[in-house]
């Protein structure tokens, strides 16, 4: 099977790892990305997307079996060609953010739709395939904390709370993370530091997961946050707001906490840091291994074709 991938971010690690797992099952890919660069504080212009339309239509005629559109903004381009079946993967912010009307308009026209969580499926109101992005359990695995801290340059005198996002990404709600950590910092004997980690090679992320004492997620909305699943695979305790499939992923994982108010997050983070243990999250992460989720996505491809 030969698939044309449409994406707004050709370097998204969860997408490229998924594609590699599918390639091991005999699927081949060509990727066409929207032109232009984006960062935490800016996005592409509408002109970039208008120029993308003819590129997609030209490329779609080159012998593909289906078009896989990643993120709602690529849906209209995938549907502009009428010869190949379309699979649309929604990532979360394209359901809960300003892109939502575009995503919702495309959903009924696609042959298959993939969402990250049951909550997303309920929001869309269609019988979608719920397939969270998988995590590479070979890359993300527990390692000794002291060795990881030496690699990332963190000291052992403090407690380190990982925030693995650009602080300018509004949806990730960095100000709330900072409030929570500042509050906890005054409640413990050791200093508590918020570590914002972004724009690092994805192969280095496991070092930060293993070096940290907890991961803090304060997002306004999520689909199925990859950082939580990666933390689980490294047995890193997670303190998070109740977004996406977080509560489902953290069910039975200790220590971990899910909260809705600042007070619940502060109490949860304090309890996790005081306990000082690694979690049993790797057992839960097996359910969303990249090999398992790729096998489920291949079934979606076969139905579409």
- Do 107 and 165 fall into the same domain? no
Minimal CA–CA distance to 134: which of 301, 28, 25, 286? 286
Q: Interhelix angle for 13-23 vs 290-304, to 10°?
A: 70
In this structure, what is the dihedral angle of CA atoms 277, 135, 40, 118, given to the nearest 10 degrees?
-100
Same domain, 162 and 206: yes
Q: Are residues 180 and 89 in the same domain?
A: no
Based on the fold, state whether residues 67 and 154 are members of the same structural domain: no
pLDDT at 41: 47
Residues 156 and 227 in one domain: yes
- Same domain? For 149 and 115 the reply is no
Q: Are residues 95 and 171 in the same domain?
A: no
Q: Is residue 140 part of a domain?
A: no
pTM of the complete model: 0.85
**Residue 168 maps to a domain:** yes
Question: Is 139 domain-assigned?
Answer: no
* Structure confidence at residue 39 (pLDDT): 54
What pLDDT sits at residue 37?
Answer: 62
pLDDT value of position 164: 96
- At residue 38, the pLDDT reads 59
Q: What is the CATH number of the domain that holds 274?
A: 3.40.50.2000
Identify whether the C-beta of residue 207 lies closer than 8 Å to the C-beta of residue 151: yes
Residues 163 and 115 occupy one common structural domain: no
Residues 272, 186 share a domain: yes
Residue 157 lies in a domain: yes
∠ CA(3), CA(7), CA(12), 5° rounding? 105
Domain span holding position 11? 2-134+289-304
Is residue 29 a part of any domain in this protein? yes
Residue 91 lies in a domain: yes
* 180: nearest Cα among 166, 162, 205: 162
Tokens describing residue 112: 């298959």
Residue that is written with structure tokens 């993300």 in the block: 140
Q: How many domains in the chain? A: 2
Q: Are strands 2-7 and 66-70 parallel, antiparallel or unpaired?
A: parallel
For residue 77, is it within any domain? yes
Check whether residue 236 and residue 158 sit in a common domain. yes
- On whether residue 194 sits in a domain, the answer given is yes
Four-residue CA torsion sign, 47, 50, 54, 57: positive
Mean pLDDT in consecutive groups of 10 residues from the start of the chain, 305 residues: 94 90 96 74 72 93 96 95 95 90 96 94 92 94 96 94 96 97 94 96 96 97 93 98 94 96 98 97 94 96 97
Residue 35: what pLDDT?
80
- 13 lies in the same domain as 129: yes
Q: Which pLDDT score, from 0 to 100, does residue 42 have?
A: 47
> Are residues 259 and 281 located together in one domain of the fold?
yes
């Amino acid at each position: 099977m030969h698939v044309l991938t449409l994406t707004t971010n050709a370097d998204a690690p969860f997408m490229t790892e998924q594609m590699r797992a599918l390639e091991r099952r005999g699927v081949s890919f060509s990727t066409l990305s929207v032109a232009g660069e984006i960062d935490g504080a800016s996005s592409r212009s509408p002109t970039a997307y208008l120029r993308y339309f003819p590129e997609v239509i030209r490329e779609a005629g080159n012998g593909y079996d289906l078009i896989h559109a990643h993120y709602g903004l690529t849906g209209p381009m995938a549907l502009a060609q009428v010869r190949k079946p379309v699979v649309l993967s929604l990532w979360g912010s394209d359901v809960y953010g300003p892109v939502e009307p575009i995503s919702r308009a495309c959903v009924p026209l696609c042959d298959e739709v993939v969402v990250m969580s049951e909550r997303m499926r309920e929001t869309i109101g269609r019988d979608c395939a719920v397939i969270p992005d998988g995590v590479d359990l070979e890359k993300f695995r527990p390692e000794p904390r002291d060795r990881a801290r030496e690699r990332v340059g963190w000291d052992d005198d403090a407690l380190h709370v990982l925030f693995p996002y650009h602080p300018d990404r509004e949806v990730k709600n960095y100000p709330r993370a900072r409030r929570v950590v500042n509050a906890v910092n005054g409640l413990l004997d050791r200093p508590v530091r918020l570590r914002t980690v972004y724009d690092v090679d994805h192969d280095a992320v496991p070092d930060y997961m293993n070096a940290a004492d907890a991961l803090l997620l304060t997002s306004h909305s999520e689909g199925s946050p990859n950082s939580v699943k990666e933390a689980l695979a490294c047995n890193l305790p997670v303190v998070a707001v109740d977004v996406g499939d977080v509560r489902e992923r953290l069910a039975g994982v200790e220590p971990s906490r899910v909260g809705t108010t600042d007070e619940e997050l502060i109490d949860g983070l304090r309890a996790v840091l005081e306990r000082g243990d690694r979690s049993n999250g790797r057992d839960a992460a097996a359910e969303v291994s990249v090999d398992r989720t790729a096998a489920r996505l291949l079934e979606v491809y076969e139905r579409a074709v």
